[in-house]
Chains A and B, each alone.
Chain A
C-alpha cells in the first residue's frame, strides 16, 4: 500500500517561503516589489535634489506662457503671441498630418510593390526586389536627407519658370510647379452652392454603402450577381458631377502663378513636408511590401486551386478567397508599421519640419529650459498616440480575424 504524505499538516516555517512553490511566487514578487519601489524612490529623490540644486521646480505652468516663435507650417491658427500649449498642438497636428499622409501612401506603395514582387514578370519582380532591399537596408534618416536634397538642390528655382522659353516647365497642364522652395499645387475655391455638391457627394457615399448591402442581400437570396463595381463607380461620380454642372460649377481651382520672385496662389507644400512624407512612405512601403508578400505566400496553393475548381474567375479568386485570408496575416504587422511610421515622423528634425518634437521638444524646451516637463509631456503624447493607433487598428483586426467557435 502506498503512503500518501499529507504536507498540509506540516507547521509553517521560514524556509517554506523559498522552497515551497505555494509561497515562493509571493516571496519573489514581494522582493521584486520592494526592489522596484526602492529604485523608483531613488530616482525620484535624485530628481528632487537635482532640481532643488538647480533652483528649478516641477510644474507645467510654462505651457500657458507666450511662445514667441513662428511656425511656418500650421493647420490651426497660430501666431507667435500664442501660448506654448498652442504651439504644442500645432506641432502635434503636423505630426499627425505627415503620419496620416504617410500611412496612406506607404500602404499604396507597399501593396503594389508586394504584389508586383510576386508577379510572374521577371523584370518587374526584380525591380521591386531592388526597391525593397534598397530601402530596407539603408537608414531612414539617410533617405530623408537625400530626398530633401533632391528637392532643395536638384529642383529649379522659381525664376527658371519665367520667360518665353523657360528652363523649367509646370507639370500637368500648368497646374503643378515643383521648385526648390516647395511645390505649388492648385487649391480648390469654394463658391456659392458648393455646399450642395459636397452634401450630394456625401449622400452618394452613403448610397454606395446602402447599395452594397442591398446587392449582397440580393445575391444571398437569389444567387444573382450584379455588376456592383460599375454601379458603385456610377453612384460615386454621376450625382455629384450632375449637381456640380447644374449649379454652374461652383467649385473651382486656384492655379499657382509666377508673380515676382515666387509663385502665388494655390497650395504651397513645403519641401520639408514633401521630403519627409515621401521618404517615410517609400521606407515604410518597402516593409509593408514584405508583409504583403508574406501574407499572400502564407495562403496555401490549395486555396487558389479550390477556387479555380469552383469556377471562380481569377479576379474573384483574389477578392473572395485569397485577400480575406491574406489580410488576417498582413494586418497585425501592418499595424506595427503604421506605429513605426508615426514614431519615425519625429525624424522631421532632419529637414526642419515643425512637428511635435520640433515645437514642444525643440524650441519650447530650449526657450523655457524645462527639459524634464517638456520631455515627459512629449513622451506621454507619443505614447497615447501609439496606444490610440494600435487600439483602433486592433479593433479593425478583430473584425477581420478568423471567427472560431
Chain B
C-alpha cells in the first residue's frame, strides 16, 4: 500500500466567517434588508430621514442666537450666510424669561426657581423608597411652602390653612379614642371645616398684624409661562390621585347611593371636554357660589383640572381593582380586617401597582392639558408664544417658539413615562 492518505491528518486552521455573516453587514442584512418588502421599507425610511434632515439640519446649523428682532435676525443671516433657511433662536435668548415665568417680577425669579428645586426634594421620598422616611415631613409641608413662595404675602395665610389639617387630625384622635372610627372621621372633617370657615381667616389676619412676616405678594395675573403649567400640573397630580382612589372605591362599593353618585360624577366628567369645564370655572362658578364670592382664577382652574383628572384616575384604578383576584378580598375578610384596613394593607398596594402605567399616563395627560388654560385668558407657554408674536419685534416668528415649548413639555412628559417604566420593573414581583 502506498502511504497516500485520503484523510487529512492535521486540522485546517479556522477560517473567518463569510463577510455577510459578521459585523455591520450581517446586522444590516438581518435588520434592514432581510426581504424585499423590508428593503423597500428601509429605503422609504432613509428617504424620510433625508427629507427631514435636509430641511432641519441647515435650519438649526445656521441658527442665530443674538438679535433684537426678527428683521435684525434676517439681516444677520443675509450678511453671514446669504439666502439659507435659518432658525432665529434669538427670540428664545431674549424672551426665555417670559416663556418660563410669564410676567412674574424679574427680581423675584429666585422664588419660583427655589420652589422648583424644592419640588424635587419633596418628590424624592415619593419617587425613591430607599431614602429616609422622615423626608415625608418636608413633602407634607411643601404644598404650603409652594403657595407662599409663588404668591408671596404673609406667611400666616398658608400656615393657618395648614393648621386646619392639624386641628382636624387632633379632633379625630380625641374623638376616635372615645367614640370609635366613624365619629373620628366625621368629627375630624367637621372640625377642620369649622376651622377653615370661621377661625383661619381672623387668626391669620390677627397674627400678621402682630407679627408681619411676609414677602412681596404677586397676583395671579402675573403668573404665566411654563411655571404656571408646572404649578397647575403638580397640584393637579398631587390632588387627583387621592380623589381618584376615593371615587374608584365609591364606584366599586355596594352602597347603592354612594355608587350612583360616583358613577354619575365620573361619567359626566369623562363625557365632556376639559375646555367646557374650564369655561365653567371662568364663566359659571360665580353663579353657583354665594353672591359676592370671588376667588382666584388659578385656584379655580386647579380645582377643575383636578376633578377632571380624578375622574380618569378613578377609572384607571377601577381597572386595577377589577384585575385583582377575588381571593385577595376574601383573604382580607378571612383575616378579620375591616374595610379600610383591608384596602390599605391588601387591596390598594396591589391594585395601584397594576395601574401604575395608567396612572402615569393620566398624569402626563393632565400636564399636557394645562396648556388649555390659554383659552380662559391665563398665559401658559403657548399663550405667551402668541403674545410674543404680537409684538412688533417678533411678528411672524413661529417655529422657534413651538420648538422651544414643545421641547420643554417633551422633557417633562418623557421622563415621567420613563420613570413609570422603571417603577414597573422595580415593583414586578412575579416570576418571569
- List chain A positions with a Cβ less than 8 A from chain B: 18-19, 25, 28-29, 32-33, 36, 43, 46-47, 49-51, 53, 116, 119-124, 127, 133-134, 136-142, 145-146, 149, 153, 339, 343-344, 346-347, 349, 357, 361, 371-372, 375, 378-379, 382-383, 386-387
Contact = CB atoms under 8 A, between A and B. Distances in A.
9 contacts: A19-B180, A32-B261, A123-B46, A127-B49, A137-B364, A137-B410, A145-B385, A146-B399, A357-B275
> A-side binding surface: helix, strand, loop or mixed?
helix
A343 B409 contact: no
A387 B261 CA distance: 17
A121 B276 contact: no
B25 to A, nearest CB: 14
Interface in B272-319: 272-276, 279-280, 283-284, 286-291
A32 B261 CA distance: 10
A29 B414 CA distance: 43
Nearest to A35: B261
B287 A29 contact: no
Contact of A32 (B31, B49, B257, B372): B257
Contacts of A33: 257
A142 B406 contact: yes
Contact of A120 (B38, B45, B279, B385): B38
B413 A343 contact: no
B34 A378 contact: no
A141 B410 contact: no
A133 B372 CA distance: 21
A382 B374 CA distance: 21
Given A32-B258, A121-B32, A46 B271 contact: no
B410 A134 contact: yes
Contacts, number: 151
B45 A123 contact: yes
Interface of B: 30-32, 34, 38, 41-42, 44-46, 48-49, 180, 182, 254-258, 261, 267-268, 270-276, 279-280, 283-284, 286-291, 364, 368-369, 371-372, 374-375, 382, 385, 396, 398-399, 402, 405-406, 409-410, 413-414, 417
> B-side binding surface: helix, strand, loop or mixed?
helix
B256 A29 contact: yes
Contacts of A25: 254-255
Nearest to A138: B406
A383 B271 contact: yes
B32 A349 contact: no
Nearest to B410: A137
Contacts of A343: 272-274
B257 A121 contact: no
A28 B271 CA distance: 28
A195 B253 CA distance: 58
Contacts of A28: 255, 258
A46 B368 contact: no
Nearest to B258: A32
Contact of B45 (A43, A127, A344): A127
Contact of A46 (B258, B280, B289): B289
Contact of B255 (A29, A137, A361): A29
A50 B283 CA distance: 13
B370 to A, nearest CB: 8
B135 to A, nearest CB: 29
Contacts of A29: 255-258
A49 B382 contact: no
Contact of A50 (B261, B275, B291): B291
B276 A357 contact: yes
B270 A386 contact: yes
Contacts of A47: 287-288
A224 B85 CA distance: 62
Nearest to A386: B271
Given A32-B258, A361-B276, A387-B271, A53 B382 contact: no
Nearest to B33: A121
Contacts of A119: 38, 41
Contacts of B180: 18-19
Contacts of B398: 146, 149, 153
A62 to B, nearest CB: 16
Given A28-B258, A50-B291, A375 B182 contact: no
B287 A372 contact: yes
Nearest to A146: B402
B272 A379 contact: yes
A25 B258 CA distance: 10
A138 B270 contact: no
> 9 closest A-B pairs (Cβ-Cβ)?
A137-B413, A122-B31, A383-B271, A386-B271, A343-B273, A139-B368, A346-B273, A29-B257, A123-B45
B284 A127 contact: no
